[in-house]
Amino acid sequence: MTIPADRLTLEQMNSMAKTDFVEQLGGIFEHSPWVAEEVYSRRPFDSVQELHATMLEIARHSEPDRVLALLRAHPDLATRLAVSPLSAAEQQGAGLDRLTPEEFAQLTGLNAAYTAKFRFPFIFAVRGKTKEEILSAIRERVGRSLEEEQEQALLEIGAITRFRLEDLLGAE
């Protein structure tokens, strides 16, 4: 397999200085470079999957306030506010930048209800999904318990970060 010019190898990541490592991986978890900072000391990694699993372990098993901050770092879907370039590209791919005014109002209302209930935004791995699937998921998930939804949000973050790591380093 030929590695695209903008893709790094795992070997390169394993040999980077900490500042470069964090610069490359700091955006994998939305506005949470602390995950990359903490995973650095666990190098070297034998696979992208091992790196990802270690990052998830660090994120999931951090102090509860830090986990909540990680959840809250994610943008509301289809917001017209500033989002990270990675989030913007992912949302565009799902058609969230092309919502009708009615769909936008519906998603905005559902996001508001969800955030009011759970105190963090609706998190959904949108890659490969349609706007209809996303609207259906938020309608269903707003009725869940806090414990169920925190777990689902972490699972979604796992999917989002896997996509991002594979984009950066490739899949093995």
- The catalytic position among 31, 52, 61, 74 is 74
Q: How far apart are CA 163 and CA 155, in angstroms?
A: 13
Residue pair 106/122 in contact by the 8 Å Cβ criterion: no
Evaluate whether 8 touches 165 at the Cβ level (below 8 Å): no
To the query of whether residue 74 is one of the catalytic residues in this protein, the response is yes
- DSSP assignment, residue 42? G
Catalytic residues: 74
